[in-house]
């Protein structure tokens, strides 16, 4: 296990768009001061990429680029022409192609790249060289935006280090079809000659959905990736670890097997499992990044081979206390079953807030919650859930900001399967008072998670 993940800490889950300003401005310094005072030493966020039209950061036009909407003003860090040239060289694996993709999308009315004129769709070298000359200014501005974001983030990383706060990022396993990643690396994906996927990702039918889930992401050509030493994955993780101390790998079970849905199928019913070379990839990533500070998102129906792969590489898994309340004694989310090699949450960004979740339960279910948590029914449910989460053996406990503030369902970040009214919640500085800070710090200290450098 990574040394960073072997220490007992408490952190907070809050995407930067949920700061009062929604940007990486002076709110960040105020936020970090709140965290430090409250005893929170890990800041987890969702992917910092450019979100899709619904606001979701899990379907982005780039797995590498940061959302320019997060930038409020140029940083005061003395970044100049020399540093910009260094940035261009260091990020050459993705930066120019991302800039081309953004400018081409704008010029073609935002249609998907596979509907562009063939010369651009198929990346004709002569056409791209001419395009680069003709649109040098526009390309330069896209690149400069990413550079300014990089400069600002260096400031933030330094401020976190001063306060002994770790940064915890998020990396979805799949990427969007209409993305610079797929356009620039068609050979790494299962696509036809027109750039359309032959198979798409999803999950099979289960208790919750008779037709499964058809996500639509193109599948990787794992054979091609393995032949070139997983170079795209190494570049991707290197980029993440430039920004974060810890990275969550979403849908970790996809490194064991993926649900392959033929592209012509409208649902996930006719898909099939296909093995993926996750072990080979993780070996390569461990050679490149020996500490490998990855958290495996292993929620849902997980088979023994997924657990075996996670443990082979000593990666922490995840536990969610909201999932604890059933009749099965071996439920891994029950507080007494949560082990050190897990990151435990009251709930994640896909869950309702703890108060919202509890409000929706019937009286019998509420009684069972208190019974399992071994508490009196008059105790505030949010405070109780936070305390039980922090009391578990998990080395790292993460608390959504909505729960730290005791908010109801109106503060929910995301409802899976719904495309409206997600991702836009923000707190207000008036929501935080000295009493709230003292209460949080007290629980963190009593549960042995107050991390003093």
For the chain, the 3-state helix, strand and coil shares in percent, each to the nearest 5, are 45, 15, 45
> If DSSP codes are grouped into helix, strand and coil, which group holds residue 441?
helix
* Nearest alpha-carbon partner for 295 in 343, 330, 260, 263: 343
Report how far residue 41's alpha carbon sits from residue 35's, in angstroms, rounded to the nearest whole number: 7
Q: Are 385 and 442 in contact (CB under 8 A)?
A: no
Active site residue 297: yes
Measured from the Cβ of residue 167, the count of other Cβ atoms closer than 10 Å reads: 19
Euclidean distance between CA atoms 278 and 265, whole angstroms: 26
**Residue of 264, 289, 261, 284 lying closest to 273 (CA atoms):** 261
Exactly one of 97, 250, 298, 403 is catalytic; name it: 250
**C-alpha span between 389 and 320 (Å, rounded):** 9
- Among 67, 97, 245, 297, the active-site one is 297
Measure the CA–CA gap between 161 and 244, rounded to whole angstroms.
11
CA–CA dist 259, 274 (Å, integer): 7
Concerning whether 350 is annotated as a catalytic residue, the answer is yes
What is the rounded distance in angstroms from the CA atom of residue 218 to the CA atom of residue 189? 7
- Distance between CA atoms of residues 417 and 415, nearest Å: 6
Catalytic residue among 27, 144, 350, 408: 350
- DSSP secondary structure code for residue 63 in this structure: S
Report DSSP letters for 83-147, one per residue.
HHHHHHHHTTTTHHHHHHHHHHHHHTTT--GGGS-HHHHTT-HHHHHHHHHHTHHHHHHHHHHHH
Residues 213, 177 contacting (CB under 8 angstroms): no
E-assigned strand segments in 204-357: 213-218, 246-249, 257-262, 272-275, 294-296, 317-320, 342-345
- Whether 242 is a known active-site residue: answer no
Polymer length in residues for the chain: 453
**Active centre residues (catalytic):** 250, 297, 350
């Amino acid at each position: 296990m990574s040394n960073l993940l072997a220490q007992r800490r408490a952190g907070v889950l809050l995407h930067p768009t949920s700061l009062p300003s929604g940007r990486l401005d002076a709110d960040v310094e105020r936020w970090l001061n709140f965290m430090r005072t409250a005893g929170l030493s890990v800041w987890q966020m969702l992917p910092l990429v450019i979100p899709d039209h619904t606001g979701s950061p899990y379907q982005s036009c780039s797995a590498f680029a940061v959302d320019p909407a997060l930038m409020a003003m140029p940083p005061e860090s003395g970044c100049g022409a020399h540093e910009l040239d260094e940035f261009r060289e260091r990020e050459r694996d993705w930066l120019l192609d991302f800039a081309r993709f953004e400018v081409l999308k704008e010029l073609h009315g935002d249609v998907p790249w596979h509907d562009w004129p063939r010369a651009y769709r198929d990346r004709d070298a002569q056409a791209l060289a001419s395009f680069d000359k003709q649109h040098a200014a526009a390309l330069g501005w896209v690149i400069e935006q990413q550079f300014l974001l990089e400069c600002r983030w260096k400031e933030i990383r330094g401020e976190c280090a001063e306060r002994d706060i770790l940064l915890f990022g998020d990396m979805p396993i799949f990427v969007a079809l209409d993305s610079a990643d797929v356009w620039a690396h068609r050979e790494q994906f299962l696509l036809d000659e027109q750039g359309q996927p032959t198979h798409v990702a999803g999950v099979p039918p289960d208790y919750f959905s008779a037709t499964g889930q058809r996500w639509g992401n193109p599948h990787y050509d794992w054979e091609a990736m393995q032949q070139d030493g997983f170079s795209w994955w190494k570049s991707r993780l290197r980029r993440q670890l430039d920004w974060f101390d810890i990275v969550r790998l979403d849908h970790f079970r996809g490194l064991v097997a993926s649900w392959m849905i033929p592209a012509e199928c409208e649902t996930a019913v006719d898909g099939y499992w296909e093995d993926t070379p996750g072990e080979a990839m993780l070996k390569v990533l461990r050679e490149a990044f020996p500490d490998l500070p990855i958290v495996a998102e292993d929620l849902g129906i997980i088979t023994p081979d997924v657990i075996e792969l996670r443990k082979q590489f000593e990666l922490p898994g995840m536990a969610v206390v909201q999932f604890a309340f059933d009749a099965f004694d071996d439920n891994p989310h029950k507080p007494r079953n949560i082990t050190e090699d897990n990151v435990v949450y009251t709930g994640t960004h896909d869950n309702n807030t703890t108060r919202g979740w509890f409000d929706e339960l019937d009286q019998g279910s509420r009684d069972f919650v208190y019974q399992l948590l071994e508490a009196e029914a008059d105790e505030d449910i949010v405070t109780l859930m936070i305390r039980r989460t922090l009391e578990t053996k998990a080395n790292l406990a993460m608390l959504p900001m909505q729960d730290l503030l005791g908010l109801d369902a109106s503060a929910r970040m995301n409802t899976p399967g719904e495309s409206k009214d997600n991702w836009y919640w923000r707190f207000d500085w008036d929501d935080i008072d000295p009493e709230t800070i003292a209460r949080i710090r007290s629980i963190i200290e009593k549960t042995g998670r107050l991390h003093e450098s």
